[in-house]
Structure 1
Amino acid sequence: MADTKAAEADVYQSSEQTAGTAAVADTLPAGWMYKRFKIGAWALPWYASPKIQLGMIAFVCFLCPGMYNALSGLGGGGRSGTDTELADKMNIALYSTFAVVGFFAGSIVNRIGIRISLAFGGIGYTLYSISLLVSVHDSVDGFNIFAGAFLGICAAILWTAQGVIMVSYPTEEQKGRYFAWFWAIFNVGACIGSLIPLGQNIHTTTDSTVNDGTYIAFIVLMFVGACLAVFLCDGQRIIRSDGTKVVMMQNPSWKSEFIGMWTTLRAEPFVILLFPMFFSSNWFYTYQQNAINAAYFNTRTRSLNGFLYWFAQIVAASIIGPLLDLKGIRRTVRARIMLVVLISLTLVIYGGGYAWQKNYTRESVGKGSGFVSWDWTHDGYAGPMFLYFFYGFYDAVWQGAVYWIMGALSNSGRRTANYVGFYKGIQSAGSAVMWSLDKDKTSFMGEFASNWGLLLGSLVVAAPVILIRIRDHIDLEDDLVDVDETAETVLRTAPPVEKS
């Protein structure tokens, strides 16, 4: 037994040295993935570099979840403003399966690889939109519920794979900027997706379901995104700009991956304090999309609101990302500032939300109430328009903070896959609960209060992690603590280095 332990220690030490070895440009491995193409005086990064891979995954998300967000942002899955029951049922199915699969998705991604995970994930978005198109012409509730549940499986795997790339591929000094680049490109997709129904319904001042052309456009774009994912690299081939390689596992088994979930929690038990923050991170979508956008505005105005919501996310990501990487300020100090900013934004923006929500109830704008949906020409539209913009701004700040915290706790692709899996699974559990509450006709003020209370409460619970566990630098030895004590769990390194 002692000899076995010693041999395993030698494997870890050798792997650690390989994973941490800096490579210079002229000693990158041979092969087209590591060639640098020059355009004049400008040299593009190699294909298997974090920048190129992040750009590709951003466009996959631009085309798949970006378009889904645009469709969902209309409220009711694009159907008329008061017809939200089908969307509620589909989203309950979606987030229920997302929550279960998401919790284990880190292990799944580690086992099957980034590329297959993303390609499979993109298929679910296409099927979801197809089911909505069919439902406009016939009652196919069974197909709709299946499409929602299947998307939950696909989305859990896609978002976990995306999180691994965004959190573990960049160096410690680049993690905020990588979030900003990804989130901006991803939300350009949602913005363009919102312009599709806006353009097709620009002259429709009454409330109605979006037309077939809108759904068909979403279906085509989502399928293209799923195909694009096939051309990504898996994590073991990635070499960072400083020459280091991403810590992955050599031939992980299902057993080793499920054990790895436990060792991840054992290595950083404080991550459990982030779970309420994970839980509340998508809770507010239901309220914002159904209780505000779908309940109060007509089709073209909902499309405009959706565009502004996702555009605000681009603005916020472009601000928060560079600030989280700000040089000259220690990472521990940046973490404390981030906590204060989150608390302040929660109080200010949701304080404005309370002032708006006092104006109406579910009953006062529901069927039979005589309420006429607002158009952007209505007097007083500017107030809710800016509120909806800042709700989108807040969402990007919150998501950026969560990803940055996870990235600050580890640089390991293997461990961050589990962190992101926990994040997406618990996040989706919260979404499933909230969609269920909306289906049961919870009052709009009750939905709003739950948003505000959960966000503030989760920040209080997460404060010890932000204030105590985030350090200025994570040593490679710390990222190897959770390596399983089995002979098969050897760290995977990049291909052998050969001078090209």
Structure 2
Amino acid sequence: MSLRYHSPLAQVLIISAVCFLCPGMFNALNGLGGAGQLDPQTANNANSALYATFSVFSIAGGAIVNVCGVRFTTALACLTYAIYTGSYVHYNSTGDGVPTIIAGVILGIGAGVLWTAQGVVMVSYPSDREKGRFISIFWVIFNLGGLIGGVLPFAINYYQSGSLTSSVYVLFVILECTGAVTALFLVPPVCVVRDDGSHATIVQSPRSARREALEVLRLFGNRWMLLLLPMSFTSNFFYSYQFSAYNGAIFTLRTRGFNNLLYWASQILGSYVLSLLLDFARWSRRRRGICALVIVAVSFNAVWACTLVVQLRYTRGTEATDYPGGLIDFLESSRATGPILLYFFMGLVDSWYQNIAYWIIGTLTNDAHVTARYVGFYKGVQSLGASASWQIGAREAPYINQLAGNWALLALSLPTMAYTVMQVKDRALDDMLLCSFVRDNESMVAGAFGWDLSPTQMAKPRAPKHLAQHVETIV
């Protein structure tokens, strides 16, 4: 892999750094519970608004990035993270949460665009044989943002309790603005050249907005999307409970920061471990999927069972908690070890759930455009579930009811995930259709784009340079 500026590796490292500095810092704040505030209601309302707009713009983001390119859309999207974090400086001074909720709406727009641009870089730039490796590189660097971001409030607030100080929020704003500047180093897909000399562009027939809108609407009648609806809705639903009703409720501020470090470290570890199973070439894809799903189901149910044991000990959180002995500090080893380890395993099994969700979607099709719609549908429904979850937290639903709801949603998602995994083949179901299309239409394609599809040239078909300059495609 080459590290030329216009190489896929260099560009993936840049987008990874951007997500390290922006979504990574956002995750670090959210993991503290209430975004570092004693009263989590404002943060819960802001997150509810955020994910509501995110659910829309995760689908619309593709059109925005296609028209405007990846560089400036990503930079502007990064600034929405800085606006959101900066709103807490105002909240600390005035106690007025309305600007924070408005900032959450703005961030939802930016997040939808940012994650679409991230998908362009991570998925369409590498060659087929490098995609898995590049996804791993991104995931590790991105989650290091939450890991290192958790160090800052832990260190700065080590000797104090209460809400995060404004200086911590300002530091996060500076980091997020740095992410916006970093995004300016991205180049358009047409400028990216792989190590084999091919360009990171996909040539396709023109697609109208009306046609794409109809294809998105058809997803709501798609068999696989309907089967995976519970999985999509559940995949981020539990964050509100874990971050606010657990970590934000029964731990001191510095311990919440310490827990944050463990949570995101476990995400990195969990993703790597499960990828070894999902890529184990000696087993069929179905067998790998079944084994991975069994591991996820058993471990997630075990985590919720242990969480129930802890939850039965308290009904309210923060300074007025009725948890026996008051808020837990990590220096109280006899009280802290069990609850802190439980939070570590929450992060571990979360990464497993997220990874197998994407893996299942990836087994359904090898068509890039269909995959884009499937992932967009997944992210939209996921954000809708997260929005509902944060609103439940904002309305101060009893913690035990939140736990029961999360556990029930997990139980509801597993049967349909299991059925889908049982249908998995070693090749996607649409592969034969795609191969047939190529065979029947290769002459037409060669004539239209000037490709030489003889056996000696088929390994490197490429569009003419003048045509490639006008193509930027989301896959």
TM tier, shorter chain? Answer: 0.7 to 0.9
Give 2:234's aligned residue.
280
1:108 offset after TM fit, Å? 3.8
Structure with larger RCO (C-alpha < 8 A, sep 6+): 1
Are 2:55 and 2:384, in contact at CA under 8 Å, matched by a contact in 1? yes
**CA 1:208–1:354 in structure 2 vs 1: closer, same or farther (change >3 Å)?**
same
1:415 is aligned to 2:370: yes
Give 2:305's aligned residue.
351
Structure 2 distance, partners of 1:240, 1:66, is: 28
Letter in structure 1 aligned against 2:113: I
Matches within 5 A, 1:380-459: 380-459=335-414
Structure 2 portions without partners, runs of 5+: 438-447, 450-460, 467-475
Matches within 5 A, 1:23-102: 44-80=2-38, 83-102=39-58
Structure 2 distance, partners of 1:333, 1:241, is: 34
1:159 is aligned to 2:128: no
| Secondary structure of 1:380's aligned partner | helix
Q: What whole-Å deviation, never above 9, does each CA across 1:168-208 have from its counterpart, x for those lacking one? A: 5556665554433222111111111110011111222xx31
Matches within 5 A, 1:53-452: 53-80=11-38, 83-167=39-123, 175-204=131-160, 207-235=161-189, 247=202, 249=204, 252-262=207-217, 269-362=223-316, 367=320, 372-378=326-332, 379-452=334-407
1:76 offset after TM fit, Å? 1.1
Q: What whole-Å deviation, never above 9, does each CA across 1:387-433 have from its counterpart, x for those lacking one? A: 00011111111111122223333344433332222122111111111
Are 2:319 and 2:327, in contact at CA under 8 Å, matched by a contact in 1? no
Letter in structure 2 aligned against 1:398: Y
1:265 offset after TM fit, Å? 6.9
Structure 2 distance, partners of 1:258, 1:170, is: 28
Q: What whole-Å deviation, never above 9, does each CA across 1:78-113 have from its counterpart, x for those lacking one? A: 112xx1111111111111111222243344444444
Q: What whole-Å deviation, never above 9, does each CA across 1:245-274 have from its counterpart, x for those lacking one? A: 6646466543343234246678x6413322
Decide which of 446, 464, 472 is 2:427's aligned counterpart: 472
**CA 1:479–1:61 in structure 2 vs 1: closer, same or farther (change >3 Å)?**
farther
Give 1:39's aligned residue.
none
Give 1:31's aligned residue.
none
Q: What whole-Å deviation, never above 9, does each CA across 1:284-337 have from its counterpart, x for those lacking one? A: 110011111111111111110111111111111221223322223232332222
Letter in structure 1 aligned against 2:165: N
1:217 offset after TM fit, Å? 1.2
Are 1:236 and 1:493, in contact at CA under 8 Å, matched by a contact in 2? no
**CA 1:53–1:335 in structure 2 vs 1: closer, same or farther (change >3 Å)?**
farther
Are 1:167 and 1:407, in contact at CA under 8 Å, matched by a contact in 2? no
Letter in structure 2 aligned against 1:257: E
Are 2:277 and 2:292, in contact at CA under 8 Å, matched by a contact in 1? no
Are 1:45 and 1:51, in contact at CA under 8 Å, matched by a contact in 2? yes
Are 2:314 and 2:321, in contact at CA under 8 Å, matched by a contact in 1? no
Among all aligned residue pairs of Structure 1 and Structure 2, give the percentage whose two residues are the same amino acid.
36
1:58 offset after TM fit, Å? 1.5
1:148 offset after TM fit, Å? 0.5
**CA 1:64–1:72 in structure 2 vs 1: closer, same or farther (change >3 Å)?**
same
Structure 2 distance, partners of 1:242, 1:345, is: 42
Letter in structure 2 aligned against 1:331: R
Structure 2 distance, partners of 1:182, 1:56, is: 10
Are 1:50 and 1:239, in contact at CA under 8 Å, matched by a contact in 2? yes
Are 1:201 and 1:210, in contact at CA under 8 Å, matched by a contact in 2? yes
Letter in structure 2 aligned against 1:59: A
Structure 2 distance, partners of 1:321, 1:438, is: 33
Letter in structure 2 aligned against 1:342: V
Structure 2 distance, partners of 1:236, 1:182, is: 21
The farther-off stretch of 281-290 and 312-321 is: 312-321
Letter in structure 2 aligned against 1:76: G
Structure 1 distance, partners of 2:306, 2:201, is: 43
1:470 offset after TM fit, Å? 4.9
Give 1:18's aligned residue.
none
1:496 is aligned to 2:452: no
**CA 1:479–1:70 in structure 2 vs 1: closer, same or farther (change >3 Å)?**
farther
TM normalised by structure 2 equals 0.83
Q: What whole-Å deviation, never above 9, does each CA across 1:419-461 have from its counterpart, x for those lacking one? A: 2221221111111111111111111111111112212211212
Structure 2 distance, partners of 1:403, 1:301, is: 32
The farther-off stretch of 174-183 and 190-199 is: 174-183
**CA 1:368–1:307 in structure 2 vs 1: closer, same or farther (change >3 Å)?**
closer
Are 2:250 and 2:321, in contact at CA under 8 Å, matched by a contact in 1? no
Letter in structure 2 aligned against 1:104: A
Letter in structure 1 aligned against 2:252: N
1:69 offset after TM fit, Å? 0.5
The farther-off stretch of 223-232 and 164-173 is: 164-173
The farther-off stretch of 225-234 and 430-439 is: 225-234
Structure 1 portions without partners, runs of 5+: 1-42, 482-489
Instruction: Give the number of aligned pairs.
Output: 442
**CA 1:395–1:342 in structure 2 vs 1: closer, same or farther (change >3 Å)?**
same
Are 1:160 and 1:424, in contact at CA under 8 Å, matched by a contact in 2? no
